């Protein structure tokens, strides 16, 4: 039997070689295909990681801008309350950094809703930034303006008019990205507030952003009844009968 198999193999060596070549070719094609699939998976995983990192940076940058904008507004308010001691803000909007997210490579990683949100914020931030530097330079050159209520309010109005919409839009965009990204951030401050917000969203709570919690009381009764959570930068009204999340309270004492 063995001799028969050996004789058949010798007589059909060409056919067996052809089978061997075919098997080798198939194995090569399979290995090549698996290699491509593996590379695609790695590329896909890499893109996911890059998008996550990009959104974390954007969340942090929006957070920092909220901190800086709040500082400017608080200085404005203190000057209004105490006209004898002029204060000049030491922080400014970080327009240059936000502008980096407007590049095609970066903004293409965001969803359509996120793109529209960040474009809107960037344009508003530029307008505020322009008026802010005019206002600050005016105070530095003419500090006596602060001592006259009418003059001070008049010269501050172009800047202040942009403030409320800008801050609320930043908070809203921040919440939108938090919902998409989840609470898996590597930045501790972002992670803490993301956990709190996402847990409320999962439980079906409706969150409405404000700069100050007291602004909630300007809503109609119907809207007040619909809102479950007041998300604000500054909690200035302890009599609100809603759960309030104050973003500012998450900032460490040593700063961001």
What pLDDT, in 10s, does the model give residues 107-140? 888 888 888 999 999 999 999 999 999 999 999 9
The structure's pTM equals 0.75
pLDDT score of 36 more than 70: no
pLDDT higher at 211 or 45: 211
Q: Band of the pLDDT at 141, cuts 50, 70, 90? A: very high
Tell me, letter by letter, the H, E, C secondary structure of the chain. Answer: CHHHHHHHHHHCHHHHHHHHHHHHHHHHHHHHHHHHHHHHHHHHHHHHHHHHHHHHHHHHHHHHHHHHHHHHHHHHHHHHHCCCCCCCCCCCCCHHHHHHCCCHHHHCCCCHHHHHHHHHHHHHHHHHHHHHHHHHHHHHHCHHHHHCHHHHHHHHHHHHCCHHHHHHHHHHHHHHHHHHHCCCCCCHHHHHHHHHHHHHHHCCCCEEEEEEHHHHHHCCHHHHHHCCEEEEEECCCCCCCCEEEEHHHHCCCCCC
Query: What pLDDT score does 42 carry?
Result: 42
Q: Band of the pLDDT at 38, cuts 50, 70, 90? A: very low
Query: What pLDDT score does 237 carry?
Result: 87
pLDDT score of 146 more than 60: yes
């Amino acid at each position: 039997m063995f001799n028969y198999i050996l004789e058949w193999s010798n007589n059909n060596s060409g056919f067996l070689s052809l089978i061997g070549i075919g098997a080798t070719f198939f194995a090569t094609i399979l290995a090549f295909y698996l290699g491509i699939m593996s590379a695609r998976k790695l590329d896909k995983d890499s893109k996911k990681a890059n998008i996550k990192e990009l959104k974390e940076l954007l969340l942090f940058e929006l957070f920092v801008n909220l901190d800086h904008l709040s500082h400017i507004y608080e200085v404005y308010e203190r000057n209004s309350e105490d006209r004898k001691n002029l204060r000049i803000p030491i922080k400014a909007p970080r327009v240059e950094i936000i502008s980096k997210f407007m590049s095609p490579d970066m903004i293409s990683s965001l969803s359509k809703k996120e793109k529209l949100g960040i474009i809107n914020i960037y344009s508003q931030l530029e307008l505020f930034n322009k008026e802010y530097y005019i206002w600050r330079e005016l105070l530095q050159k003419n500090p006596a303006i602060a001592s006259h209520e009418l003059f001070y309010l008049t010269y501050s109005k172009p800047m202040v008019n942009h403030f409320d919409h800008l801050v609320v839009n930043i908070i809203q965009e921040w919440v939108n990205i938090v919902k998409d990204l989840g609470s898996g951030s590597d930045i501790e401050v972002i992670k803490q507030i993301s956990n709190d917000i996402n847990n409320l969203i999962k439980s079906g709570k409706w969150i409405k952003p404000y700069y100050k919690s007291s602004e909630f009381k300007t809503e109609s009764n119907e809207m007040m009844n619909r809102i479950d959570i007041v998300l604000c930068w500054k909690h200035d009204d302890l009599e609100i009968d809603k759960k309030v999340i104050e973003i500012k309270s998450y900032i460490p004492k040593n700063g961001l």
